[in-house]
Structure 1
Amino acid sequence: MSKSTASDGDDLGRPPRVVALGGGHGLHASLSALRRVTTDVTAIVTVADDGGSSGRLREELGVLPPGDLRMALAALCGDDEWGHTWSQVLQHRFRSEGDLHGHAVGNLLIVALWELLGDSVAGLDWVGQLLGAHGRVLPMSSVPLEISAEVSGIDPARPEELTTVRGQVACASTSGRVRSVSLLPGDPPASPQAVKAVREADWVVFGPGSWFTSVLPHLLVPELAHALVTTRAKRLVALNLSPQRGETDGFRPETYLEVLREHAPKLGVDVVLADSGTVEDVTPLMSVVGELGGRLELAELSRDDGTPRHDSDRLATALERILGTEGR
């Protein structure tokens, strides 16, 4: 596959168009950094969550699960008091003994707009306007999806035996090790706006985030996957700081890339960004990065509090250097 030829935006006299893929806390971290780097950010979000408030709304109303979409919007909120206040409102969860317990205000607001407008993307755009969002949030598919995973080691007596586990929560919390994932339905429709954003992007950013349930699903929606493989945009993969129990137990930094290649063998990668403190042996990582056609960038990305979370300032600095926007 030939290397991409998209401009990083400098030659065009505008900020780079960046599309960020994922869901949940990983995408929130990515967007919190990217909004400091460019004014043209589009988040494309997984729609397979079946737990908590999102799962209850999905089951009762048949809507897309709004939770990860809400978190992405909150991450892109305006910098003024108005934006921050509405971001807090969106993230607020009710605490009660009744049916509202655990529901996030933003989830209810998003679903209300969907019902009123009959258009999932328009509803998200309205919430974005309310927040003064620095970017746009789109679902990766126009229908709610279910994740199915092949998991080994659920029965300790048969460590190599594969078991099929269905549902995002079940996959993320399995006691075994996830080997591969697929989506149900198997040929889901992509959001047309998401496909368009990928095709027009200068950069596409994968991760960080739950690898099997937030990052890889984008490559399992056929039309979106085709756009990701054929886009002229440069592709950046931001690796996680630590393995996630069940999903990525025992993963080394290069394992994330090996799994990515297994699920999307035609996908090329231009840059892999990893935390320098989590890469004990750079040689195997550089080898896999080279096989994908990219280069490795190491930087100090984690917080100083001992938690395996990205520091927004450090991640923004690294992304700014890679995307070529220093001094903008």
Structure 2
Amino acid sequence: MSISPVFTCLGGGHGLYQTLLAARHARAGHINAVVTVADDGGSSGRLRRELGMIPPGDLRMALSALTHDSEEGRLWRSTLQHRFKGNGAMAGHAVGNLILAGLSEEAGGMQQALDVLAKWTRSNGRVIPVCNEPLEIEADVAGLDDDPRVLRSVRGQVAVATTPGTVRRVRILPGDPPVNSAAIAAIMNADVVTVGPGSWFSSVIPHLLVPDVVTALNETTAQVVVILNLSPEAGETQGFTTERHMHLLSQHAPGLHVDHFLADNYLTATPGERRHLQRTAERVGGAIAYMDVRTIREDGSATNTHDPEKLAAALMTLSGSG
């Protein structure tokens, strides 16, 4: 593998942001961010509803993670992430979302807008929507009825992420959307492909519900690494075990092949539990690795955030480049 490997990172939100920073620390020759497009909350949701566009929020965050490492690049990063305050029509909108909304109309589409903005920000990589149309998440949820066996349908990313019930399964609407060809090319031409971390049902699994994405993950020569969350996501996967997180991938994408699951070695698992997790990983053709990837505060306490430098070292080791 090249000493400057090509990274393609699948996800959305803060989890993808940290992974992209890790790819930069790994001195990747090129970085692709393949981003979910199902957000329907906040500024993204408002623009999606008003303009019928792909929700820009996760795309903006990924782009901000890749801005050039210079004073100008850092200004771009903070500007893209800046949110207007107040109580008027602009309140809550992120500057980057509005730029992408305008550019997508002027340039002829969201991918074109992202590529133009990447040039302006001297980006270290390319941001790619997984699909060129907005998707919707729908979930089967238990615990919303007096009878715990009854499953209720909940629709929308925000509704799924905040449901008081237990999510059993999710799907995307439309069910077999046309994939962005650039996303497939990014997976096929990578040396390392990462999936996660992030909100499992709304940022990670939606990628695996696009059939062409699973086919590409199975056919690529890249090392495919699933980065496990450091803790269950409040709301979505509250109370879910590490094994349950791993099982959900194969449940939603039968036939998926994964090379590695990356867990933090802070995980308190007995030798017996680790053997069980290894067997779970083997069901999708992979193995589970435990490495130090967690950010530690100055007082020595652990956080629930991946440390980009530690994550970069772990990914390079797993890919054979470390």
TM-score normalised according to structure 1 size = 0.92
- Looking at structure 2, the residues matched to 177 and 246 of structure 1 have their Cα atoms a distance apart, in angstroms, of 8
The aligned counterpart of 1:274 is 263
C-alpha displacement of 1:194: 0.7
The aligned counterpart of 1:197 is 186
C-alpha displacement of 1:171: 0.4
Q: Is the 8 A contact 2:218 2:257 kept in 1?
A: yes
Identity of aligned residues (%): 48
Q: CA RMSD in A?
A: 1.3
The aligned counterpart of 1:178 is 167
The aligned counterpart of 2:10 is 21
Structure 1 residue 127 corresponds to structure 2 residue 117? yes
Query: Can you give the 5+ residue segments of structure 1 that lack an aligned partner in the other structure?
Result: 1-8
C-alpha displacement of 1:41: 1.1
The aligned counterpart of 1:111 is 101
Q: Which moved more, 1:279-288 or 1:70-79?
A: 279-288
How many residue pairs get matched? 314
TM-score normalised according to structure 2 size = 0.94
- Looking at structure 1, the residues matched to 162 and 92 of structure 2 have their Cα atoms a distance apart, in angstroms, of 19
The correspondence for 2:38, drawn from 24, 48, 60, is 48
- Looking at structure 2, the residues matched to 160 and 190 of structure 1 have their Cα atoms a distance apart, in angstroms, of 35
Q: Residue type of the partner of 2:38? A: A
The aligned counterpart of 2:82 is 92
- Looking at structure 2, the residues matched to 91 and 39 of structure 1 have their Cα atoms a distance apart, in angstroms, of 25
C-alpha displacement of 1:27: 0.5
The correspondence for 2:296, drawn from 292, 298, 304, is 304
SS of the residue 2:55 aligns to: coil
Deviations 1:278-318 (A, max 9, x none): 24232221111122221222111112234311112211221
The aligned counterpart of 2:287 is 295
The aligned counterpart of 2:313 is 317
The aligned counterpart of 1:251 is 240
Q: Residue type of the partner of 2:226? A: V
Q: Is the 8 A contact 2:223 2:319 kept in 1?
A: no
Q: Which moved more, 1:313-322 or 1:237-246?
A: 313-322
Q: Residue type of the partner of 1:107? A: N
- Looking at structure 1, the residues matched to 315 and 252 of structure 2 have their Cα atoms a distance apart, in angstroms, of 25
- Looking at structure 2, the residues matched to 128 and 321 of structure 1 have their Cα atoms a distance apart, in angstroms, of 29
SS of the residue 1:132 aligns to: coil
SS of the residue 2:185 aligns to: helix
- Looking at structure 2, the residues matched to 245 and 154 of structure 1 have their Cα atoms a distance apart, in angstroms, of 17
- Looking at structure 1, the residues matched to 110 and 268 of structure 2 have their Cα atoms a distance apart, in angstroms, of 40
- Looking at structure 2, the residues matched to 279 and 120 of structure 1 have their Cα atoms a distance apart, in angstroms, of 43
- Looking at structure 1, the residues matched to 214 and 24 of structure 2 have their Cα atoms a distance apart, in angstroms, of 25
Query: Can you give the 5+ residue segments of structure 2 that lack an aligned partner in the other structure?
Result: none
Q: Is the 8 A contact 2:12 2:198 kept in 1?
A: yes
Q: Is the 8 A contact 1:153 1:177 kept in 2?
A: yes
Structure 1 residue 285 corresponds to structure 2 residue 274? no
The correspondence for 1:233, drawn from 218, 222, 229, is 222
The aligned counterpart of 1:61 is 51
The correspondence for 1:154, drawn from 113, 137, 144, is 144
- Looking at structure 2, the residues matched to 134 and 246 of structure 1 have their Cα atoms a distance apart, in angstroms, of 34
